[in-house]
A and B are shown apart, each in its own frame.
Chain A
Amino acid sequence: MKAKINLDATYVQSEDLVSREIEGELIIVPLVAGMGDMEDELFTLNETGRAVWAKLDGKKSLKTVAKELSAEFEAPPGEIERDVTGLAEELLKRKMIVKASKK
């Protein structure tokens, strides 16, 4: 089942994990069970995934994140927004990001 993502909403990295850059690679370590499929897992992200992850700060909407990435990366129109949504769906499903509460 896909997690429902709202492009106008802001998302933030969960407090139930830690992420560190180790030797140029981002390592994401869940602190609670249930982020992986059945077993405990450690994660990493590819280059564009890291770029998305770094912008999930709870202040920018996903639409803004996609727009900022469009200034940094070359892609056909709409592709970055679609891909950002796809990654956010997976991260939300695994509870690795949460919807930021409105201040």
Chain B
Amino acid sequence: MNKKVWTKPKLIVLFKGK
């Protein structure tokens, strides 16, 4: 099975503000 390349997992803020 071909493995995918690992990249650093990131939490991304998609929308900021009330």
Q: For the complex, count residues of A whose C-beta is within 8 A of B.
A: 31
**Contact: A48 with B6, CB < 8 Å?**
yes
Q: Is A17 an interface residue (CB 8 A)?
A: no
The CA of A51 and the CA of B5, in the complex, are separated in Å by: 13
Query: How far is it, in angstroms, between the C-alpha of A42 and the C-alpha of B12 when the chains are bound?
Result: 9
Question: Is A80 an interface position by the 8 A CB rule?
Answer: yes
Cα(A84)–Cα(B3), bound, Å: 17
The reply to whether the CB of A15 lies closer than 8 angstroms to some CB of chain B is no
**Interface 0/1 of B1-18, CB less than 8 Å to A:** 001111111111111111
Q: Which residues of A contact B (CB under 8 A)?
A: 27, 36, 39-49, 51-52, 69, 71-75, 79-80, 83-84, 86-87, 90-91, 94, 96
